[in-house]
Amino acid sequence: MDAELLLDARAVLGEGALWDASRRRLLWVDIEGREVHIFDPAGGDDVAIDVGQEVGTVVPRARGGLVLGLRRGIALLDPASRELTMLADPESHLPDNRFNDGKCDPAGRFWAGTISHRRQPDAALYRLDPDLSVRRVLEGVVNSNGLAWSLDARAMYYIDTGTHRIDAFGYDRDTGAIRNRRTVVDVPDAMGKPDGMTIDADGMLWVAHWGGGRVNRWDPGTGRLLSTVLVPASRTTSCAFGGPDLATLYITTARTGMTAEALAAEPQAGALFAVRPGVQGLPAFEFAG
């Protein structure tokens, strides 16, 4: 399958795609552009909100507004007023780190991890509970990335990009505890680095592969590659099912660090793409706090 151009956004580092089902819009971010984007596929309008610092992820809040993972912590954003309210900065002592990918779990907790720009294992995965308390749940991370939860809510899937793996944890919906980490997919280097991730209605994982120009569908039960969506931008970063029937896969890409020659060969780098792969996704969870 081939992805088709949807929006020639020319994002520096497009990331964090997530479908806001309640409002029928696609949320995504340009990390290095410092922007939160709200895209309306029905009309083709894309609203960009400058938040003043690098923004790694965005999720909807059930009571309205958005929750962000930023360079300097976790914050709330009111898209109408564009007012930003900082909640916590658990890595204020690590100025080279910033928040990266994140998602909400089935109980409405917001999980977001950090990335070490020194590529050292001093990043971590955090959980923002509905009472707005923040807990560090995983240490020794280099580049915290894709997250997803199994259909029965008994497993949490997780990517630390540098490991070239998709791992699974046992997950307790009532407490948010994770345990018993294991590898479910070993990603060959030739396919690119595993980045953003989502899950479909069959329980299969869709993973964007940085440097691979693709989104792969993986079976977490067997570790097998099931299918591939080719993207005309090698720095493929994240993916999310959306649209009225949750059957469109939206894909973000990046152009950061590319030479003039590379950009000439990939003029659509940084664009937003879409494909209908023949399966449906699931509604994204909202933050309950």
Q: Structurally, what CATH architecture does the domain formed by 4-275 represent? A: 6 Propeller (2.120)
**pLDDT for res 119:** 87
Contacts of 229 (CB under 8 A, 6+ apart): 1, 2, 3, 214, 215, 216, 217, 249, 251, 275, 277
Quote the pLDDT of residue 24.
Answer: 96
pLDDT of residue 212: 98
pLDDT at residue 118, rounded to an integer: 87
Beta-carbon contacts of 54 under 8 Å, excluding residues fewer than 6 positions away, are 31, 32, 34, 70, 71, 98
- Per the CB < 8 A criterion, the answer to whether 246 and 283 are in contact is yes
- Predicted confidence at residue 60, as pLDDT, reads 98
Q: What is the pLDDT along the chain (289 residues), one digit of tens a residue?
A: 999 999 999 999 999 999 999 999 999 999 999 999 999 999 999 999 999 999 999 999 999 999 999 999 999 999 999 999 999 999 999 999 999 999 999 999 999 999 998 889 999 999 999 999 999 999 999 999 999 999 999 999 999 999 999 999 999 999 999 999 999 999 999 999 999 999 999 999 999 999 999 999 999 999 999 999 999 999 999 999 999 999 999 999 999 999 999 999 999 999 999 999 999 999 999 999 9
DSSP states of 161-225 as a string? GGG-EEEEEEE-TTT--EEEEEEEEEPPGGG-EEEEEEEBTTS-EEEEEETTTEEEEE-TTT--E
Active site residue ranges: 195
At position 6, the amino acid (one-letter code) is L
pLDDT, residue 193, reads 98
Query: What's residue 117's pLDDT?
Result: 87
pLDDT score for 34 = 98
CA atoms within 13 A on the CB side of 119: 3
Q: Record the pTM.
A: 0.97
